[in-house]
Amino acid sequence: MPLSRLLAMPFVRFLGVGVLNTVIGYALFAAFVLAEAPTLVAVAASTALGALFNFGSIGVLVFASKDVTLLPRFLAVYVGQCTINALLLAGLAQLGLGPLLAQLLLLPLLASGTYLAMRYWVFPDRAVLPGSDGSAA
C-alpha cells in the first residue's frame, strides 16, 4: 500500500502522532529533570504541557480541527484512558503478570479505545481530513 494511502487513514495518523507526542512528552520531562525540578513537578508539568501539545497535534494532524472548545472532552478522554489503564493493570497484576508485560498487552486496546473516543466523541465532526474517506482500503 502506498504511503499516501496509509496517511489518508486517520488511525494510522493517530498512531504516528502518538509517537511524536511521546517524544515531546519525554523531552519535556527530561528538560524539567535536567533543570533540577523535583520529580513530581517534572511529571506534573510535563504531563500538563504534553496534554496541551497532544490536543493541538491530534486535533490538527489527525482530525483537522483547531477548535479549542473541545479541550475539556479531550482531557476527559485522557483521564478516562488513564483510569481504565490503571484498573486493567491492577487486574492483570492479580493474574500474575508483571507491569511491563501487562502494559505491552494493553497498548493495542488502549490506543484503539482512545482513538475511537477521539474520533466519535471529541472530534465527531472532523473524523477525517478533507479529501480522505478514512477507509482502510
In this prediction, residues 52-75 reach a mean pLDDT of 94
pLDDT at 132: 47
Q: Which of 92, 128, 101, 95 is nearest to 7 (CA)?
A: 128
Q: For 6-55, what is each residue's pLDDT tens digit?
A: 888 888 899 999 999 999 999 999 999 999 999 889 989 999 999 999 99
4-8, 107-111, 123-127: the lowest-pLDDT one: 123-127
Q: Please check the confidence at residue 117 and state whether its pLDDT lies above 60.
A: yes
Residue 101: other Cβ atoms inside 10 A:
10
**109 neighbors 101 (Cβ within 8 angstroms):** no
> What's the pTM?
0.79
